[in-house]
Amino acid sequence: MVERRMWRVGHGRALDLSERGAIMAIVNVTPDSFSDGGLHDSVDAAVSHALACAEEGAAVLDVGGESTRPGAAEVTADEEMARVLPVISALRQKTDALISIDTYRAVTARAAVAAGAHIINDVHGLQRDPEIAAVAAETGSGLCIMHTGRGRTKLSDPIADQREFLALSLDIARRAGVARETIMLDPGFGFAKETLEENMELMARFAELQDFGLPLLVGTSRKRFLGTLTGRDTRERDAATAATTVALRLKGASVFRVHNVAINRDALMIADAMLETERRIAASKGSTE
């Protein structure tokens, strides 16, 4: 039997991560994101794209109003909310998929949850605007806490740096009263992981992050290190992304934040089938001993 693992999110919902991985679709309502900037920067275009992702198998729709690519221009909270809130409100009426708000601002997070978002996804790991943890605690939202190396001096060992940064983030969450069953961790591939070697070591040692005892989200989709490996341009990296989805699922990742839902959904189905077969074989051997 597989141990039941539920990720509790907002508005009385939960995502079952016991036996199957889940896809989080990227819905950028921005003009300047590194891969799809400008493609979905109107409400109608963003909603249409998100609904198509849900049809293709995305369990979570991650709506963001500010690009996180290096060097991107920062927007105001008002501009961010003007971009994302109409999209979230429309999606809440049109789909049962979970909705995530990709923001580091407490004011945006609070408004997004009120509009219908179930999850807060903070790429600064609660350490830029710690009040966002209080929003998560008060609303009961799911909370994705991402590791980043931006704006700080990192430890030379990538897993040690993950542990140091995420331990601080989890302490912020604990002090704010965030329920542990609402938390998911993200190692932040590509976020100030400057070299191919650093990203690949993080992949190779990914299973060590299970020591936190929390579900893990990964966002490798179309990242630069995949281009370094394959020589392909940004929008040609979906096959490489799917390969990382399989590799990281086998090492314990639960949720996969991607641009191309269909190819990663198929890849994840293969990885899940392999894990299920391994469990069945292990159970069969155990019953005969």
**Catalytic positions, written as ranges:** 223, 257
Name beta bridge partners: 64: 28, 102
Residues 6+ apart with CB under 8 A from 131: 106
Residue 143 backbone phi and psi in degrees, to 5: -135, 115
Residues 6+ apart with CB under 8 A from 257: 24, 25, 26, 62, 186, 217, 218, 219, 221
Q: What is the DSSP string of 191-238?
A: SS--SHHHHHHHHHTGGGGGGG-S-BEE--TT-HHHHHHH---GGG-H
CA 18, CA 279: separation in Å to the nearest integer? 12
Asked whether 100 and 53 are in contact (CB, 8 A), the reply is: no
